[in-house]
Structure 1
């Protein structure tokens, strides 16, 4: 102890009080003495100043030492109090100790008495401080949420806090003096001795999970620590983690249920897995799934075993039930006592309910015949399970939509292929006959009409070729791959009659496309630029953030014609079929792309293709060029 020790010395003889104070302070420089000449003055000092110990005479006017002690104990029950008197007796000493005195000393001659008094004062103050600290610690232990116990060297309880007794269901008196085996199941006692105590003997402490047994024989999983003290005692802390372990098991089981839900191939299968998980994992007894059908909730699955089929009726969304509330508000509703609500449950025996919306699909509801049957953990786990079911149902809906779209695409593509077959065979056959007959006629006679007919037949052949291209290229694209626009442009340029025209490619970008149809697009756009751009036209192919473009420095396309250029048959050339850009539009539409016309930076035409599913286009772009595109009777409570 290094802090100052303040001693209040009360004696009706001022000279003796001052002398005693001087000798006490000489005995130990930690001691500081405050004097008072009466009990009343002493009480005033105690009321105004902190004091560590009181030394008082017995025979004083007004109020004697024992009466003063009794007054002190009213406000300071633990303060050390030494009755130091020259007129004492065994009777006075007995009364002093009965009143709560810490010690009783008689005044004697000489200075040795002050040495004795100083030592006693210091010891009592140190003991009181240690006791106060111990009580604070015990109070903290008592207030702790963890169960705490202390065992002696024989393994018997010498202290248990309230949390410990509550945890095991005993009274404090029932546990004190009992062996630690009291709180272990018989088949776990060997674990306590062979594992826990062995680890404490070897390492000084042990921590882990063990199984505890309550007074009623039930068991629980506990987080348990045991540590040895220098005195050979064992300090144990225990926390019930059964809820946590149960939640961990439930989460693991719900993970498996989520896998089963994902694998479900129908709504009925989803509902079946949902109900099984609610029963087996969440341990709900009465569960139902209502599905929204034409503005009403219709019960599609339930766990009740009822013989009356007509009992299950649909509930219009306008009616006020917990199921319709949860669905309309898209929020979870927990009702602890159904009798406290205006809503009448389907069965009067139902007392509480937990209702969770399954998105736009419907609701999941669990009911119980007990009040407050569903806690926060039930709500959390149920929302997690229902969320997995909602995702499974949405996945099935997406699969149905995808199948429907795929079937529609296949039917459309089949019709286009049938049309292409008719055009290819039924039209080309008579055209070939006419072309052959015309050649024979030209050998027999020389007529100006033969050349006119030949041009007409050639135009018909070109129309048939373009019509076939329209039919086949317009078939919707179902499979794509990443294709380099620059590589396609250079390959197409090599197949065209380009004359003095020049190609400039901005490399570095790809798009997701059908490779052959992308070639057709780029080739048609390049051919259009060459045919309409004039001699020596410069054709620039580049990649944008959302697609690609083909631009030239020719005369451009008038604003009035920029919509019609993609229509079938539109052409400004006497020899054109008007299908070149129409085929571009058809292929773009088959990919889900869009096409638009604008001005290039050099004043010519620029056609942009915006690809909805394009890859990241890492090209540097066209610099100055910028893209221009327009672009109740149920479980329900």
Structure 2
């Protein structure tokens, strides 16, 4: 599967759509957002192909979000569709789910809503991709799970599957040979003849609602699809629309459970919501969540039925069970009759099972004392629920890793600060004493050795200052601000440039950085350019392609390829007066921000320093001469 995820966002407020697109793309670099301001424009975008998920507003002029959803579903019943609206209600949500919406999300204040929306998009697209792959592999099985019939050119049934016959309360043999009107009330027969069939034979297919007649005389609303074949036959698929409405209500309830999962603050809370939703919404009797720990699946949550305890408990991952199979294969396993399989349950009363992997975290499992207790709808809804749980667990894991990383950064910064304190106090104090003694000695005697001692002490002071700067600038950046690069560059240039030097800022940008340390980067790079390229050097500052960072380059003699890696090493210098810490400090500050610096050659042969991985924002242009 392609890692990129293309999202179509339809909203009649283009400003909001653009903001939402920017935040969604920031959440995950796989996401690409295309926008449309009306439903008809959205349909044109979909017709062009390549869309993995639709996010749509509800209250739009012309065609609203629900009508747009119906149009989308007519073309693609499985494309993830999220209704993302500021004007809605539970009634709208229920109607949306009944119409085939994947999810319903109300707009909120702040930017956290985009994190939630991005998580939903990733979850549904991943689920849809897996489902598409599964459908390709199990197409024959899926076809048999919905009502399917084939009629000849005389409109008589020549084949019906078990599911089709069950919808009407017959055995398949009782329908085969009959005219299609056999399973419709008289008033519906007239509608089909006058409205449905003319469109079917003209267009080649038809989809809509009809009223079916059961063997016991009762009727039901059916979701009906008809298609003609090259041989004049008709292929008919039927689903009970009442069941679909119940499915919509279950989806609405799962929407609430998804919100609870997103708010969960611990793994235990996620497991509790998962079990409660399976029991209360999906109406499963016996469920449990197993978590991978120390090479085994360990039970961490289960329903309160005491009989459940002991069925799951602890299972080594190298043991062959449906739970371990599901975990290793990362696929859902549905067993209609456990007695017909080679894996024997702990309790022989359990007859069927449904097992869904929770990514690398573990598995969700439901069992029943009835055979074939879990149908395709159960599977679909469970995978959706478990998908939400998986995202919640991933979020908690990322938060934990962030806390650990932040604590590690703080410890590292503390160690660097301790070192800087030693350099600042313990080394400077005896140096100050030596400088004072030298001054007293000058008053008592005159010797050429005194000047050499003073030069050595000045050299030591410079090295101590550079070492202190290196230690403090190397502390990892934990707080950032928006820095106008043009203003900062101009300020730095005024501090270090010679009258003959020229600064050319070819792109204006703002970046997220520690302003004081970024100032040190520019000052050191400018000093390096003047030192090696001469006082009449021209320095250019601009933005890298795709706004992935910025560069500083000069028109000097450049740096040989074999020396480019060593210039960032501490103590490396080609000047008798330099300490070799200037570019080392640049590298430390860049690394402290999580960026990267590379030394290449400018177009005119000078040195070019490229700093990438930077969060670059806005643009303009300026030139400064001195």
TM range (shorter): 0.5 to 0.7
List, as ranges, runs of 4+ consecutive aligned residues in structure 1 with deviation greater than 6 Å. 145-150, 307-311, 619-622
Partner of 1:568: 570
Q: Distance in 1 between matches of 2:380 and 2:497?
A: 70
Secondary structure at the counterpart of residue 509 of structure 1: strand
**CA displacement at 1:246 relative to structure 2:** 2.5
Q: Distance in 1 between matches of 2:508 and 2:569?
A: 32
Aligned counterpart for 2:606 among listed residues 599, 604, 607: 604
How many aligned positions are there? 409
What does the per-residue CA deviation read over 1:376-416, in whole Å, with 9 as the maximum and x for residues that have no partner? 11111111110011111111111111111000000001111
Q: Distance in 2 between matches of 1:146 and 1:565?
A: 90
Inter-CA distance 536–401: structure 2 relative to 1 (3 Å threshold): same
**CA displacement at 1:441 relative to structure 2:** 2.3
Aligned counterpart for 2:592 among listed residues 587, 590, 593: 590
Q: Distance in 1 between matches of 2:187 and 2:375?
A: 24
**CA displacement at 1:245 relative to structure 2:** 3.5
**CA displacement at 1:349 relative to structure 2:** 0.6
Aligned counterpart for 1:163 among listed residues 173, 197, 213: 213
Partner of 2:384: 384
Task: Using structure 1 for the length normalisation, give the TM-score.
Answer: 0.60
What does the per-residue CA deviation read over 1:525-554, in whole Å, with 9 as the maximum and x for residues that have no partner? 000110111231222222212211111122
Partner of 2:296: 296
Secondary structure at the counterpart of residue 468 of structure 1: helix
Runs (5+) with no aligned partner, structure 1: 1-137, 151-160, 170-220, 224-238, 623-637
Partner of 1:554: 556
Secondary structure at the counterpart of residue 556 of structure 2: coil
Contact preservation (8 Å) 2:337, 2:352: yes
**CA displacement at 1:336 relative to structure 2:** 1.1
1:477 aligns with 2:527: no
**CA displacement at 1:617 relative to structure 2:** 7.2
Secondary structure at the counterpart of residue 291 of structure 1: strand
What does the per-residue CA deviation read over 1:49-70, in whole Å, with 9 as the maximum and x for residues that have no partner? xxxxxxxxxxxxxxxxxxxxxx
Partner of 1:464: 464
Q: CA RMSD in A?
A: 3.0
Contact preservation (8 Å) 1:543, 1:617: no
Q: Distance in 1 between matches of 2:544 and 2:257?
A: 46
Secondary structure at the counterpart of residue 213 of structure 2: helix
Partner of 1:427: 427
Contact preservation (8 Å) 1:482, 1:615: no
**CA displacement at 1:606 relative to structure 2:** 1.5
Q: Distance in 1 between matches of 2:550 and 2:346?
A: 63
Task: Using structure 2 for the length normalisation, give the TM-score.
Answer: 0.61
**CA displacement at 1:287 relative to structure 2:** 0.4
Inter-CA distance 497–621: structure 2 relative to 1 (3 Å threshold): closer
**CA displacement at 1:344 relative to structure 2:** 0.9
Partner of 1:94: none
Contact preservation (8 Å) 2:302, 2:308: no
**CA displacement at 1:507 relative to structure 2:** 2.2
Q: Distance in 2 between matches of 1:497 and 1:513?
A: 23
Inter-CA distance 345–512: structure 2 relative to 1 (3 Å threshold): same
Runs (5+) with no aligned partner, structure 2: 1-177, 191-210, 223-238
**CA displacement at 1:314 relative to structure 2:** 2.3
Secondary structure at the counterpart of residue 507 of structure 1: strand
Q: Distance in 2 between matches of 1:336 and 1:307?
A: 20
What does the per-residue CA deviation read over 1:133-178, in whole Å, with 9 as the maximum and x for residues that have no partner? xxxxx9765433899699xxxxxxxxxx981663649xxxxxxxxx
Q: Which has the larger radius of gyration?
A: 1
Inter-CA distance 310–381: structure 2 relative to 1 (3 Å threshold): closer
Inter-CA distance 162–425: structure 2 relative to 1 (3 Å threshold): closer
